[in-house]
Structure 1
Amino acid sequence: MGKVSSSNSQGVHVPKLRFPEFNETWELSRLSDISYYQTGKDIVPKSKYVSTENMLQNFAGMEPYKDEAIVSGIPFASGDVLIANIRPYLKKIWKANFAGCCNTDVLVLHSANINPDYLYYNIAREDFITHVMSGVKGSKMPRGDKTQILEYKVGVPTHKEQQKIASILSLLDNRIVKQRQLIEALKSYKRGALSKLFPKKGETMPEYR
């Protein structure tokens, strides 16, 4: 990657760190220009249902329900960005990798004329959370203002540069997931080792010596 200035002579913002093969200017667009809220109603098995309860904090995704009961909600498609709109500071944002439904406390953003992955990485950021929190309503259970959320501004490069940026960030995400899985496997191994290397309650000898 190469460095460029933060803005060009026309004042169009570009990143300080950029792939050297790109030099086109970026457009500054409102979220409402590049995406829209999905609406409607559909029914799905609960394993395909998303709510604020099974979305994970700090952009960590979601944990599917095990229940297969039929539920109804707002439909979303694979690639849509889901945003938990209750207590936005918890940073519950997930890019769907399957089609399903969600409850009304979850906003569904569908990309329009922009790479879905690029849209997601612009949303799963501290800057976006700060923007949403600046317009929340309520104090005990703050809720984002749907109109104000769409005023968020996004720098939009060419589709080819969008794809390049999204690919790099996706690769990093995949590596993070693999590292987390490795850590969990090691934790499980350690728990098993501890139970066998020390005597159990009421015993004087460990299982392994």
Structure 2
Amino acid sequence: MSGKEAKAVVPKLRFPEFREAGAWEVKRLGGYLVGKPEYGVNAPAVPFQENLPAYLRITDISEEGKIVKSNRVSVDLRAKREQYLSVGDIVLARTGASVGKSYKYRSKDGKLVFAGFLIRIKSNPEKLNSEFLFQYLYTGRYWRWVEFSSARSGQPGINGAEYASMLLPIPPELSEQQKIAHCLSSLDEVIGLQAKKVQALKQHKKGLMQQLFPAEGETTPRLRFPEFREAGAWEVKRLGEIYRFKPTNSWSRDQLNYDSGTIKNIHYGDIHKELNRT
């Protein structure tokens, strides 16, 4: 992009109280930050220890911008106060396949020192709501910029100066930023709760399957519906005894078509397209 800032824009959907507030401006991110983007600590990770600072690396950030705590590590150094993340700080991946990935620090994640392949930015709270910025980092517009800016020979990457030069569409009123941030972050909370419910159901199903199917070496499942409790043991057969396999055929793909063929047939690449239409 050129050095000029882009023209003002108006979102297609806007909260009623801001419909007459004027167009959004498109400004360089650096003008809305406290200081310049900062690089993390260049030190190797060590096994997690309570007496050492917890270490945040690119691999510790999920696709949803949450911290992955299943493989916590530490960094062996006497960290200074400014090396720890503060509430509202956003870190951005600067290199590799994860370039552009982001994480917004939350106090519930505990004290964290961020690694050297991450860049920290601090929004100026009088100009830019940090949650509004974080939500923007999941838009298609942002990821198109990442793809364009990181397209280099060799490993892709975006440095701190390039992040600061990114054009950001921003409402003229801070209150509109806050309203958008609250709306989208509330949805994130609902999504997170639903994800936990889904995970719990998956675990429940897994437990049921272990009991509804006989364990290895057994012929009777441990859990059975009442009407089948006296139905006897399950048989163990080879799949070929109960299912007729056709190793090859002379039918064309048009004839083996789910919608209009002689035989309804699902090809490997058609599974999601044909069977998940609801």
Please give the range of the TM-score, normalised by the shorter of the 2 chains. 0.7 to 0.9
- Matched to 1:33, the amino acid is G
- Matched to 1:84, the amino acid is A
CA shift at 1:145, angstroms? 3.3
CA distance in 2: counterparts of 1:140 and 1:116, whole angstroms: 32
Q: Which residue number corresponds to residue 61 of structure 2?
A: 55
Please give the per-residue CA displacement for 1:170-202, whole angstroms capped at 9, x wherever unaligned: 111111111111111111001000001111001
CA shift at 1:47, angstroms? 7.0
CA shift at 1:139, angstroms? 4.4
TM-score by length of 1: 0.82
Q: Which residue number corresponds to residue 200 of structure 1?
A: 215
Gaps (5+ residues) in structure 1?
A: 1-10
Trace 1:85-104 onto structure 2 (pairs within 5 A). 85-87=94-96, 92-98=101-107, 99-104=111-116
Please give the per-residue CA displacement for 1:55-112, whole angstroms capped at 9, x wherever unaligned: 123x342203434664559432121111111235565211111342111101111111
Please give the per-residue CA displacement for 1:157-182, whole angstroms capped at 9, x wherever unaligned: 21111111001001111111111111
Residue aligned with 1:76, SS: coil
Which structure has more strand as a fraction of its residues?
1
Query: 2:84 aligned to 64, 67, 75, which one?
Result: 75
Q: How many residue pairs are counted as aligned between the two chains? A: 198
Q: Percent identity of the aligned residues? A: 26
Further displaced range: 185-194 or 141-150: 141-150
Question: Is the contact between residue 40 and residue 115 of structure 2 (CA under 8 Å) also seen in structure 1?
Answer: no
Question: Is the contact between residue 61 and residue 92 of structure 1 (CA under 8 Å) also seen in structure 2?
Answer: no
- Alpha carbons of 1:128 and 1:83: their partners in 2 closer, same or farther (altered >3 Å)? same
Question: Is the contact between residue 86 and residue 142 of structure 1 (CA under 8 Å) also seen in structure 2?
Answer: yes
- Alpha carbons of 1:48 and 1:154: their partners in 2 closer, same or farther (altered >3 Å)? same
Q: Which residue number corresponds to residue 27 of structure 2?
A: 29
Trace 1:1-209 onto structure 2 (pairs within 5 A). 12-22=8-18, 23-25=20-22, 26-35=24-33, 36-38=36-38, 48-57=54-63, 59-64=64-69, 65-67=71-73, 70-71=76-77, 74-87=83-96, 92-98=101-107, 99-112=111-124, 113-136=127-150, 138-157=152-171, 158-209=173-224
Gaps (5+ residues) in structure 2?
A: 1-6, 44-48, 225-278
CA distance in 2: counterparts of 1:162 and 1:88, whole angstroms: 30
Question: Is the contact between residue 12 and residue 28 of structure 1 (CA under 8 Å) also seen in structure 2?
Answer: yes
